[in-house]
Structure 1
Amino acid sequence: MNPFIAKIIIDVARKQLEKKQVNRPVTKKQLDPLVRKYEVEVSHAIKEYIFIAIGVLSAGFGLKGFLLPNSFIDGGATGISLLLENVTSLNLGVLLIIVNLPFILLASKTIGNKFAIKSIIAIACLAIVVHFINYPTITEDKLLIAVFGGFFLGLGIGMSMRGGSVIDGTEVLAIYLGRKLSLTIGDVLLLINILIFSVGAYVLSIETALYAILTYMAAAKTVDFVVDGVEEYVGVTIISNEHEALRLMLIKKLRRACTIYAGKGGFGTSGESYDKDIIYTVVTRLELAKLQTEIDKIDRNAFVIMGVVKDLKGGMIKKKPMKK
């Protein structure tokens, strides 16, 4: 961390402790945990706002460089704003704030005030970027506009989400309605966008609405790619009588850390139960075939459960590559 910022953090932590314990000296043992806490909060905040800044600039490029000059629309709150911009005299920057404001108010109740504040900052920055920055018009080819306009817009939305905010408030509405109506977030977003595209087909043209669907699909796929990361991890649970041999294989041959937890077998006659060790590890999808091969070498009848892991932190998965 920057020495200047670190010094400010130490001074703030010291003053906070001095207020709590008047006329008593602040010790290093008391100061260190509070300094570490503030350092983590500040470093995370800096990283998150960098993500948001990149997201805002990317979304602005997608809007001004592709969609706006060609009267294209997208899904979500951005699509509503683009649709209104085509049928009213209001500026898109103003519309982005007006359309997203109800969703941000909903976010403060549904998710939290911190998330809502960061989101309104991100949306306000996007409105400023759209209004003041003159991006060049990249192309007039409709297919390229739909694909790459959606890509840059999706990149902006995804980066903003990684920064702990949104620049498209319909996702907040989807979370809220999903809880109330027992629907998935994807189902709610699909219904919202069907409505937007239907209005777009009526107000503009069917062709524009069809290209808007393509734009939305490109944006949605890009968001998934940015939020979930480049690598897709798989959590693997292995239940086998050869658990010790499997553990050694993971550690020595595949060079992967694993977790062992105790379990009891539930299959068999009434009252029959037996103890067994259950192994859990995480690998990338590209390494999955080798892992399955090594498991079969030890126990073809091993019970293996696999599930996609969206993200992970710590551990040894990125530090010790699997041997060739």
Structure 2
Amino acid sequence: MQEVKKIAKKLVPKTYWNKLLLNMPKRLLEIKNASWVKRITIWRQIKDALFIGLGVVMASIGLKSFLLPNNFFDGGAMGMSLLLEILTPLDLSILILLVNLPFIYLGYRQLSLGFAIKSTMAILALALLVHFIEMPVITADKLLIAVFGGFFLGAGIGFAIRGGAVIDGTEVLAISVSRKSSLTVGDFITVFNVFLFIVAAIMVNLETAMYSMLTYFSASRTVDFLINGVEEYIGVMIISDFSDEIKTKITYDLGRGVTAFKADGGFGEKAKNPDRNVLFCVVTRLEITKIQTEIDKIDPRAFVIQYPIKDTKGGMIKKRPLH
């Protein structure tokens, strides 16, 4: 046995064993991280599939039980499909696929192959449900049709977006246009829908176009609710000579986390002593008045910047449902 050990030491240098022992914790950490990443990835994929499935079902309810029986339509690519369904003999399920195919290709070029695959599956599932599943007509009241049809359709679009896919490709086109022109995403969607509703008013009738505008408004507000949530978060940046006092007040009295950035700036006499802390915190819209009041108590001349934040994660902010 001793002879075997001597031979092993000669064949395998001591430095090899040292490196092996030193790298073992790192390798164990990599294995643990790989397992954690795999678990997170699988859970994300399951969550995306559930969101997309729920979105497809909700959108099909809005179409089959509200909009289609009454020749109503929405904005965006879905609105274009519904309008073409009224004006042409083609089935809506075919039109949903045909209208969205260019947007899917654009999403593949602008975003990723995974996004294009998920969107294709979602749109195909919606087309199949619309074609094969029969659903009862809920109401004949035009106002209820516009509001609740928009709600279900908007919920479907919102859940699909939460799952990383689209069943209405207008936003993909809007992102592409915004990169090549001065139009923002919101500007392009507004212009697109205004043009769509004008065509609808001419080709169908003005009353249907007006009710369809209400449908679009209901759908867009539902999408915003599902993506951004009820509590809109506001980022607050505070520049003040009394940053330490303000930080203490927000942290201990108001119970909100504050991050202090070292900054160099100033104007006039303040430029002679430019070193200062810039404070940053995230609060809900309901809390912004309280924060501003406490700042005014300490430094009425403080420079306060507020801007909306689409989403947050971690820290002292609670996790939003469905996010």
Corresponding residue of 2:130: 130
Moved more, 117-126 or 175-184: 175-184
1:130-209 superposed matches below 5 A: 130-209=130-209
User: What letter corresponds to residue 318 of structure 2 in structure 1?
Assistant: K
Q: 1-side partners of 2:30 and 2:190: how far apart?
A: 52
| 1:31 partnered with 2:31 | yes
* Structure 1 unaligned blocks of 5 or more: 1-24, 320-324
Q: 2-side partners of 1:56 and 1:191: how far apart?
A: 26
Distance change >3 Å, CA 269–CA 253, structure 1 → 2? closer
1:84-123 superposed matches below 5 A: 84-123=84-123
Cα pair 2:265 2:271 within 8 Å, conserved: no
Cα pair 1:146 1:211 within 8 Å, conserved: yes
Distance change >3 Å, CA 298–CA 69, structure 1 → 2? same
Corresponding residue of 1:251: 251
Q: 1-side partners of 2:242 and 2:41: how far apart?
A: 45
Aligned pair count? 295
User: What letter corresponds to residue 230 of structure 1 in structure 2?
Assistant: V
| 1:295 partnered with 2:284 | no
1:264-305 Cα deviation digits (max 9, x unpaired): 223116973520111111111111121122222222222211
SS at 1:304 equivalent:
strand
Corresponding residue of 2:214: 214
Distance change >3 Å, CA 270–CA 295, structure 1 → 2? closer
Q: 2-side partners of 1:55 and 1:28: how far apart?
A: 40
Q: 2-side partners of 1:189 and 1:124: how far apart?
A: 23
1:67-82 superposed matches below 5 A: 67-82=67-82
* Structure 2 unaligned blocks of 5 or more: 1-23
Distance change >3 Å, CA 269–CA 243, structure 1 → 2? closer
Q: 2-side partners of 1:187 and 1:253: how far apart?
A: 41
Distance change >3 Å, CA 248–CA 109, structure 1 → 2? same
Cα pair 1:77 1:100 within 8 Å, conserved: yes
Highest CA radius of gyration, 1 or 2? Answer: 2
Q: 2-side partners of 1:220 and 1:263: how far apart?
A: 40
Corresponding residue of 1:9: none
Identity level (%): 52
Under a length normalisation based on structure 2, what TM-score does the superposition of the two structures give?
0.86
Q: 2-side partners of 1:114 and 1:189: how far apart?
A: 24
Cα pair 2:52 2:165 within 8 Å, conserved: yes
Q: 2-side partners of 1:293 and 1:27: how far apart?
A: 52
